[in-house]
Chains A and B, each alone.
Chain A
Amino acid sequence: MSKPIIATASLAGCFGCHMSFLDIDERILDLVELVQWGKSPINDIKTFQQDCDIALIEGGCCNDEHIHTLREFRKHCRILVAVGECAIMGGLPAMRNNIPIKECLEEAYLNSPSTSDANPDKIFPNDEELPMLLDKVYPCHEIVKMDYFLPGCPPRADLIYGALVALVTGQEAELPYEVVKFD
């Protein structure tokens, strides 16, 4: 049997969850024995070359490109894992959810100390190449079905590793008290 293929994505996240994943250190060598790598920012493979078994998703959805990417992952991956608070509930970016989007943009591009002088023509970035901001930041499970959730900001490397190995080997993941934390 061929090894299961793993993909990862970073949506509205800070890459901290990916960094935490890399904190599994030398266990990455054990993981290589168990899995193959598909599309991921870690190996810079940008398109799905084949369907994947497990995808780790960091970050929620704050623009239309995130939604598109997440739906692509749902289409091409058997199991989607929401990794980290941003994927689970929006995280830090979702702090804007109770502020009207117009106010957010005005604060960022017109009124903040660093932009008020630098942007005399009062321009909002609006190139068609740029993704469109959504009204709110959405947790992943509000856009597509997510299969598993690993909390933490970022989730501890032990939690990510333990969950991956459990998924690949078909065992139930262990959830030790000190490893499952929300911060």
Chain B
Amino acid sequence: MSTAAPHRVVGVLTPPDSLDVSDAVLETTAEGLRATGIDGFTIAAPWHKLRISERLEGVERSIHFPDGRGGQTTDDDGIDLLVPRVSQSWFGALRQQAEHHWRAAFLVAGAAGLALVLIFNALIPVLAGVAADWTPPQVDSAIGRSSIGTLQTMTGPSRTDPALRRSLQSDFSTLARTAGFAPNAVRFQIVDGGRIGANALAVPGGYVLLTDQMIARARSRDEIVGVLAHELGHLHYRHGVEKLYRAAALSAALYLLIGGDGGLGGLASLGAGVVTSAYSRDMEREADAYAVRLLRRTGYDPTAFGRLLVRLERETGSDRPSLMRSHPVSQERLDMIQDLAAD
């Protein structure tokens, strides 16, 4: 303690026998602190038994004595000078500066904004990727089995011409073999879409599902094969598990950021929706690029499925804003697919 430090701070103290507060003086003694009330009563305690609350804009500092009683003072500077080793850490002092000056507060907030972008764009995807790499393939199958169960209740047996089905099966086998999947590591099934309509799905664990309705919309075999290659891309990158990890990391991050603040719940779920659809878009692009490479190697038209996507979108009409859509706008995807195929 410097010799220039003041030796007393004025505050208030609650006398032992009433709810009154009385003006009091706080002084350092040889081994600690002593508070003396105006009526003459005193409390004293050694340093290690004292607790002094941190500095906070306009809130009185509490000085807790071991018997449960305490004094309060508004003299922030005084108390910090009086008891520097108890009242203020270096971090507390820095934080206090930021809380007290607009410019510093905005500077800190700006840095945090950058950090937020990094967390969502880099940290979560990278961590999810690492976690997916570490996950044994059995987990994919376990997840897949439960989704297959759900899908079975929504779909029915296929009504597509059996000859066409057989030829698509052999296309699929060609693709899977060229892509380097082990025999029987991936399976392919055609079903009546029922409630899921014209669709194609990659289910973790190695299942590719294609609906009759999707086949009906296609104008050439290459379009369908392209879709299958895209789904193999999802399986190759194990997007299923990765998506789970990303979603888990995202909700954990939002929970820790917003914590118990119920009032921000709506905003959090909106934010989670936006980030999740951005993540899905990344995965779709990755699967598209994979499909283009695979289709070129196997000799199919690498751009055909892009045209199917555009047609599907035009026929069903898009009623959702693109911000919320999980697949990138199909025309955009077709352009990218054509660019990739032209390389």
User: Does A pair with B?
Assistant: no
Which residue numbers of B lie inside 8 Å of A, CB to CB? none
